[in-house]
Amino acid sequence: MSTTQNAASGNTPRAPGQLTTAMKTNSVVVSLRVNVDVSGNVDIFTTTGNQVGNVVTCSHTLPHGDLYTSATDAVFEFWEPSGARGDISGAVAGGAGAGSLLSAPSTLATLVSDLAVVINNSMDASAAAPFNAYTADYRVFDNFGELALGAHAHYLFGHVGATAAIDNDAALINYFKNNGGSDARIATLLNDAIQALSAADATAIVRQVISQDPSRAAGQDNNALVPDIHQGLLFATGDIVYMQVTIHQPSITSGSSSAGAPGAGSANNLPSASGASFPSAGAQFTLKITLS
């Protein structure tokens, strides 16, 4: 074939071994059949709880449903704020702290009554001062009222069993263990204290729970596409919660009966053989309560 013929046919003449330029007529979809391995780190945030001391282990459990019923019915709520991915915020549902969108939980009254049952049942103070300095006979109490009486006897008269001089011992026990209008109402006060927690305190509680069990934050889209979705903080059977109760030093009356309620005055008119004085900040006990 001559050069003239090639030009006439529309084919560009080329030197021997020269390739033509490829052209696209249709789009193609092709697997290149290669794979490379890469990995990244997902950081689950960690946090530490407040250090607790003087732990008293309560024998009676608290139903977990008092703290969590559903994603929209719980004592605590949490969310990932818009514009702050990777952060988390918490609040008491319907409480005084800022940020709450959920309503107050339906179980507030139940929480109070169930806490009252915990207070009114036996507890082991083997790990708590001043009882840990005594033999086993003086470490387990039928209820918080009995424990409070023992603490008063220790600090006032030098021994947890030295209650003979306490004329109102039965009234004192009932005062601390019961939840009526004229009682110490520890269960009600604990609930009131929970409801008054700040947003910062609630966030710290949320972080304690989720850092130990991240799956409790699962099942909900809280990313930048759907920010500020609030959900209840899940509590479940087997969880343990701690609550603190501080007994302040009583006023001492002589020659007359008392209803059991401690006064605001300092201890006076004590026998000369009195024991150690009440701690200046009060005798603080941390109740360890298991959820059922």
23-77: pLDDT as tens digits: 777 766 676 676 766 656 565 556 666 667 889 999 999 999 999 999 999 999 9
pLDDT grade for 255, boundaries at 50, 70 and 90: low
For residue 6, pLDDT over 60 is answered with no
Supply the range of the domain harboring residue 63: 55-290
Whether 19 is in a domain gets the answer no
pLDDT at position 274, please?
Answer: 44
Q: Of 236, 232, 233, 235, nearest to 72 (Cα)?
A: 232
Whether 278 is in a domain gets the answer yes
| Per-residue pLDDT tens digits for 79-118 | 888 766 668 889 999 987 778 999 999 999 999 999 999 9
Mention every residue, 6+ apart, whose C-beta is less than 8 A from residue 64.
235, 236, 237, 239, 291, 292
Whether 13 is in a domain gets the answer no
Task: Count CB neighbours of 78 within 10 A.
Answer: 26
Whether 24 is in a domain gets the answer no
pLDDT at position 228, please?
Answer: 74
| Domain total of the chain | 1
Whether 186 is in a domain gets the answer yes
pLDDT at position 264, please?
Answer: 44
Whether 14 is in a domain gets the answer no
CA 81 → CA 89, 94, 201, 209, 230, distances in Å?
Answer: 7, 18, 17, 18, 9
Whether 25 is in a domain gets the answer no
3-class secondary-structure state, position 56: strand
| Per-residue pLDDT tens digits for 112-144 | 999 999 999 999 999 999 999 999 999 999 999
d(CA 89, CA 231): 11
3-class secondary-structure state, position 97: coil
| Per-residue pLDDT tens digits for 271-280 | 444 445 778 8
Whether 32 is in a domain gets the answer no
